């Protein structure tokens, strides 16, 4: 395939290397220094675009890809409040898009098992559930998009929960927040040089169950984005990352 990279930071560079290893070509690389090169004509050189930019640019990048008729993989988060509008635009242009909070194969297996586990735990209401996410100190926002997806999977599957609440844990802000019975607590910690760890914890008076995903590096995220580009290339419509995986076989 010919791939356009919309966003060429650490993740963009990693995606580039994996794409090249898989015999694809990079025909366009856009970052903050060459935004003037992001035009419909230039984008149409590509078979598919991979978007890992910023919340302030992601919507315009998606809309341009629709107008150019180029399928797009969207890994940037922070735009999901506009999802209904983007889905409508995708249909209007007969366009192609796949999005996700995390493209790692391992994380998407984690998402699936998390929902199955939450359904099982409906039978054992004496366990209280929470989510813990740990990321590098450069990640200033919280919670992570991955943690939100985990919490929403619990809410969709566990009858006792209907919303999540986030607490950022730091030395200056100890964990003294109260959580309502219907809330899923997401605790966020920021530690040097941690690519990302997410843990679902079910705790009772007699024992604790923990279900954890630990990223050793970002290669899994980048590989998943390239796999998504290969998957969406000849498809139409608005797709979520879980559609790439068939866990029901």
| Catalytic pick among 93, 112, 139, 236 | 139
Q: What angle do CA 15, 69, 48 make, to 5 degrees?
A: 15
- Determine whether 139 is an active site residue: yes
Catalytic residue among 24, 135, 161, 239: 135
The sign one gets for the Cα dihedral 103, 109, 112, 113 is negative
Q: Is residue 135 among the annotated active site residues?
A: yes
Q: Which residues are catalytic?
A: 135, 139
């Amino acid at each position: 395939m010919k791939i356009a990279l919309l966003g060429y930071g650490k993740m963009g560079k990693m995606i580039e290397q994996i794409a090249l290893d898989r015999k694809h070509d990079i025909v366009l690389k856009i970052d903050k220094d060459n935004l003037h090169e992001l035009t419909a004509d230039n984008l149409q050189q590509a078979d598919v675009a991979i978007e890992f930019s910023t919340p302030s640019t992601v919507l315009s990048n998606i809309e341009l890809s629709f107008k150019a008729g180029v399928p797009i993989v969207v890994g940037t988060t922070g735009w999901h409040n506009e999802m209904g509008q983007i889905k409508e635009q995708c249909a209007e242009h007969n366009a192609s898009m796949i999005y996700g909070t995390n493209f790692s194969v391992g994380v998407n297996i984690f998402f699936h098992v998390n929902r199955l586990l939450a359904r099982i735990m409906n039978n054992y209401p004496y366990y209280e559930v929470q989510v813990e996410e740990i990321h590098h100190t450069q990640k200033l926002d919280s919670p992570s998009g991955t943690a939100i997806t985990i919490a929403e999977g619990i809410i969709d599957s566990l009858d006792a929960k209907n919303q999540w609440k986030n607490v950022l844990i730091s030395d200056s802000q100890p964990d003294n927040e109260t959580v309502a019975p219907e809330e899923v607590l997401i605790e966020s910690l920021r530690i040097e040089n941690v690519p990302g760890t997410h843990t679902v914890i079910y705790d009772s008076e007699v024992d604790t169950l923990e279900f954890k995903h630990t990223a050793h590096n970002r290669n899994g995220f980048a590989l998943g984005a390239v796999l998504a580009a290969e998957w969406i290339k000849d498809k139409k419509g608005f797709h979520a990352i879980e559609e790439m995986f068939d866990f029901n076989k």
